[in-house]
Homo-oligomer: A and B are copies of this chain.
């Protein structure tokens, strides 16, 4: 188990302890007023929020919404129409061209001619961006890049299906670290195997569960090598395939993927804002991504982040808060396979000369809140330290912690502009149970856990807006 580095937590609490005890009465009064308003935010979010019914509609009436799909277009129109009801200062669509990959008929992946079990299916999903194709070949299991290179150099991958079976590390307490430790197989595995003559790749699903849901996700080809089909198989299928190889010394698999990439499609980020009264050009952003993979409901990934972000503005508006800076909700298109929405947003922000004072993304599921992570190197970060330290004290009653870490993919193109980037961090234990799989459905989201996320983000937005950074 590798422990995560905590970022100055002792120091944070220390600071709070010293500054609040002998503080001036004006400071104490401010602190009390803020605590009271944050209480109001939580109360309202837990009793009268919209995020949960919104997620229900997005999940059950619209469903999954891969970039370029008709349902993604529906999601754009419906979320805009919901934001239109909130009484914001403006709501608009920001165009971007997005990839249009389609899965086609269900993929067929089977072990054929096993001595022990004959022919049997492996639960599979083509990886997003994969070419289609029909292949039948012997399988070679690969558990590390070193092993791949050795096998490749020895000519043992030529004409074979490479099977990446390196599992997520269950001993990582934060599951995102376990994901980060093996998603390279999914993203780059096809071209790295194609380089050695492999004809297709199968990848063990990126989940810590042992079950029969394949988990898809994006992959990239290196155009230096032939494009070959790539699919994820469920962890149970991966175990069965590995067992066959171990027990029989060989396994042959037939793969048929019916996916293809169509021409790019015009799509949109959906944006709404409450205009700032003092510094309208400084933006406090909350966002999530509107697109999802084309299975399940995309409820945790990232329906949750979408409805929470919408609701943050609604909650602040309903409570009568008048912001100093512009508070903006951005529902990004195409996080999953292109980041075109995030890039379009950043480009437009730069063109308009806006300053992204703070950008908070919710893209880690609708689970119970644990805190916020903050992005940036020490130099960039140092300037925010004092303010964040005082802000953090307001989250103690809600058991939330601030730490240094990542933020979010959609806001990453804003990095160069030197604002604060933050990722809302819910508890991560269940996220990869559902991530990119048919099982990421509305019923997996707990109403209170979702609402507490809305409240937590609204509270942070409030503090940043009120005090600046």
Contacts and interface: CB of A to CB of B under 8 A. Distances in A.
Interface of A: 1, 3-4, 6, 9-11, 13-14, 16-17, 35, 39-40, 42-43, 46-47, 170-171, 173, 175, 208-209, 368, 370, 396-399, 401, 427, 429-430, 433, 446-449, 452
Nearest to A448: B429
A431 to B, nearest CB: 11
Secondary structure type dominating chain A contacts: helix
A40 to B, nearest CB: 8
A218 to B, nearest CB: 25
A43 B4 CA distance: 14
Contact of A397 (B3, B17, B42, B43): B3
A384 to B, nearest CB: 21
For this chain, the copies found in one complex come to 2
A31 to B, nearest CB: 13
Contacts of A16: 10
Contacts of A427: 368, 427
Given A399-B370, A399-B401, A452-B429, A171 B43 contact: yes
Contact of A46 (B1, B39, B448): B1
Nearest to A39: B1
Given A1-B42, A401-B399, A447 B209 contact: yes
Contacts of A208: 448
Contacts of A3: 35, 39, 397
Contacts of A175: 448
Contact of A173 (B171, B173, B398, B430): B398
A396 B13 CA distance: 13
A46 B2 CA distance: 12
A251 B307 CA distance: 39
Contacts of A35: 3
- Residue from the set A9, A173, A430 with the largest chain B CB neighbour count within 10 Å: A173
Contacts of A430: 446, 448-449
Of all A-B residue pairs in the complex, the 6 with the closest CB atoms, nearest first, are: A3-B397, A13-B13, A10-B17, A1-B43, A43-B171, A1-B39
20 contacts: A1-B40, A1-B46, A3-B39, A6-B397, A9-B13, A9-B396, A10-B14, A13-B13, A13-B14, A14-B14, A42-B171, A47-B171, A170-B448, A208-B448, A209-B447, A368-B427, A368-B429, A429-B452, A430-B448, A433-B446
- Residue from the set A208, A396, A401, A429 with the largest chain B CB neighbour count within 10 Å: A429
Nearest to A370: B399
- Residue from the set A14, A401, A433 with the largest chain B CB neighbour count within 10 Å: A14
Contacts of A40: 1
A217 B199 CA distance: 61
Contacts of A1: 39-40, 42-43, 46
A458 to B, nearest CB: 13
Contact of A42 (B4, B173, B370, B401): B173
A9 B208 CA distance: 33
Contact of A368 (B47, B368, B447, B452): B368
A429 B449 contact: yes
Contacts of A447: 209
A180 to B, nearest CB: 17
A330 to B, nearest CB: 27
Contacts of A209: 447
A175 B446 CA distance: 14
Contact of A429 (B10, B17, B446): B446
A34 B427 CA distance: 26
B4 A397 contact: yes
A259 to B, nearest CB: 32
Contacts of A6: 396-397
A6 to B, nearest CB: 6
A171 B14 contact: no
Contact of A13 (B10, B47, B173, B399): B10
Contacts of A10: 13-14, 16-17
Nearest to A15: B10
Nearest to A367: B368
A387 to B, nearest CB: 19
Contacts of A370: 399
A328 B3 CA distance: 29
- Residue from the set A171, A209, A433 with the largest chain B CB neighbour count within 10 Å: A171
